[in-house]
Structure 1
Amino acid sequence: MTGRQEPAGGPQGGQDAPERAHQDFSRSLSYGDYLRLDQLKAAHQPITDAHDEHLFIAVHHVSEVWLDLIVRELRAAMSLLEAGITDAPLKMLTRVVRAQEQLTNAWEVLKTMTPADYLQFRHAFGQASGFQSAGYRMVEFLLGNRQDVMLRPHAHRPDLHGPLQEALSGPSVYDLALRLLHARGLLPAGALERDLTRKPVLNEEVLAAWLTVYRDTETYWDLYELAEKLLDVEDNFRRWRFNHLTTVERTIGFKAGSGGTSGAGYLRQALSTVLFPELWEVRTRL
């Protein structure tokens, strides 16, 4: 009788056998130790017995981790852009785009929670709201969506307020891109002089500079690539905001938000914000 022969040492002795994996972690880091999973899971503390509060907390915990990564990658890209480097930041901005996709997909999981499910625990967290997310606010500030009033919810936390204040008054990733246009002789210095603590508005001189780039991509390929990558970031930012709005509408309708805003009405208004206006308008003017 013939058949398939086992490797030397039998099935448990093969090099692919699970028994060959490390088993003793009394003196070295295990997977859970390295990721500090006990601490991570300990932060998951529902206030009520409602089944869906676990979902609600998990989605927001995961989202905050992605936001933290986005901030880190944006800052790294901005540091390189400030040094005049245009190619390496593209990798970091691509990572931002991929992380944004995960953030947007998180709303799809939260949408499985019905209005009745949400009302079982909504009362428990009082005025707490995603509006108060320092991570999200930092992303907005680094992308150029700035308003002084957004600092106020963090006034009681100097460790959060300080970095946000610094980001509010410093250049955004788009401001750094405009400085590159100036360095290449495409944009006059006067076009860079604006109030960095305010939302961006369309500037005809900036638009003219980007038109030059888009009409001669061979000469300005690096700036063209950077512009398109920035547009990817804003495109995904819009998708996230839209999914946020639809999730809120299907969960609480047009009730006021827990943080004091009008809820869906506030989110709908936020959809009109344009981070990089010239990059969108350039398509019309080409």
Structure 2
Amino acid sequence: MTDTTSLSHETGTDDPLTDFRGRTPYDDYVHASVLSSLQRPLTDAPHEMAFLVTTQVMELWFTLVVHEWRIAREALVKDDHECAMDALRRSLGAHLALNDSLRPIARMTPAQFNEFRAAFGAASGFQSAKYRQLEFLLGDKSRSLMNPQRADPGAYAELEELLHQPSLYDETLAYLHRRGLPVPEHVLERDVSAAYEADPGVEEVWRRVYAGPQNDPLLALGETLTDIAEAVMRWRGDHLLATRRAMGAKTGSGGSSGVHWLEQRATRPVFPEIWTVRGLV
């Protein structure tokens, strides 16, 4: 047999490559066959496949957002403003796609959800390790929220590392301090394993940024962080609405209070002083 890579090489045409030994290079790179094999519905309910695919796609978007925020955080540590901004803008596009990914299941009725809900038992989005990483990078930290990963050494270690590292917002404030803005010392030296709490001194820092020249790169940083915070809050709100629509006030599958828990999480601040400062400018 002739050892050819492609029929197009034999014919000299411009047709795409079609003759491969084994899997295609596309599948070797993207692992599409692996991804397509991961949907294993437990019932014959017509909406379960959409629920599985949507949830898995959301996990992929979490992974990308976390990846970009890590890059942005490290760039800020190095005072590389442009690299940080590029990563933050990429993360915003990924987060907006994450928000849109809810659409296939956002309008499930209670009866449609109930057709397969019992099948996944105690599984709950609350248990997502990657989403917890995302929240830790925002500065919304709590050791107790790591409890679902206690029996998973790898996932727990990743969360433990992020718990004790400065968040994206912590490094933003340290960067502003190095740029000459008076970020309070007690904020710079705070226990980064605790959830970030708003501080009037940080609000004053952002007031100076927002009251300054409109072409200031630090203002662009503030507005990009605002875009990200808005995307996060919209995600939380849309997730809450989809859950309320599908199950009302029932107890969550993982033992939480369900909608009530999501309502509490939806109100958690994201980069708080960037929002409160707007009333001072």
Structures share fold, TM-score greater than 0.5: yes
The residue identity in structure 2 corresponding to 1:194 is: R
Between Structure 1 and Structure 2, how many residues are aligned? 270
- Structure with max Cα Rg: 1
> 1:207 aligned to 2:203?
yes
Partner of 1:76: 71
Deviation for aligned residue 1:131: 0.3
Partner of 1:135: 130
In structure 1, what is the Cα distance between the partners aligned to 2:25 and 2:46? 31
In structure 2, what is the Cα distance between the partners aligned to 1:205 and 1:249? 38
> 1:25 aligned to 2:26?
no
The residue identity in structure 1 corresponding to 2:159 is: L
> 1:87 aligned to 2:50?
no
Contact 2:54 2:101 in 1 (8 A): yes
In structure 1, what is the Cα distance between the partners aligned to 2:211 and 2:257? 43
Partner of 2:121: 126
In structure 1, what is the Cα distance between the partners aligned to 2:213 and 2:256? 44
Partner of 2:242: 247
The counterpart of 1:178, out of the listed 173, 181, 185, is 173
Q: How does 1:1-286 map to 2 (within 5 A)?
A: 20-26=15-21, 29-187=24-182, 188-217=184-213, 221-286=216-281
Identity fraction in percent: 37
Deviation for aligned residue 1:99: 1.1
In the TM superposition, structure 1's runs of 4+ consecutive aligned residues that sit over 4 Å from their partners are none
In structure 2, what is the Cα distance between the partners aligned to 1:145 and 1:253? 26
The residue identity in structure 2 corresponding to 1:203 is: D
Contact 1:155 1:161 in 2 (8 A): yes
- Deviation per CA, 1:127-176: give whole Å up to 9, x if none: 10000001111000011111111110000111000011111111011101
| 1:194 aligned counterpart, secondary structure | coil
- Deviation per CA, 1:196-218: give whole Å up to 9, x if none: 22222221111111111111136
Deviation for aligned residue 1:27: 7.2
Contact 2:51 2:105 in 1 (8 A): yes
In structure 2, what is the Cα distance between the partners aligned to 1:28 and 1:53? 29
Contact 2:107 2:246 in 1 (8 A): no
Contact 2:107 2:245 in 1 (8 A): no
In structure 2, what is the Cα distance between the partners aligned to 1:147 and 1:191? 18
- Deviation per CA, 1:175-197: give whole Å up to 9, x if none: 01110121122124333122222
The residue identity in structure 2 corresponding to 1:106 is: S
In structure 1, what is the Cα distance between the partners aligned to 2:33 and 2:101? 23
In structure 2, what is the Cα distance between the partners aligned to 1:29 and 1:248? 39
| 2:42 aligned counterpart, secondary structure | coil
Structure 1 gap ranges (5+): 1-12
* Structure-1-length-normalised TM-score: 0.89
In structure 2, what is the Cα distance between the partners aligned to 1:193 and 1:265? 34
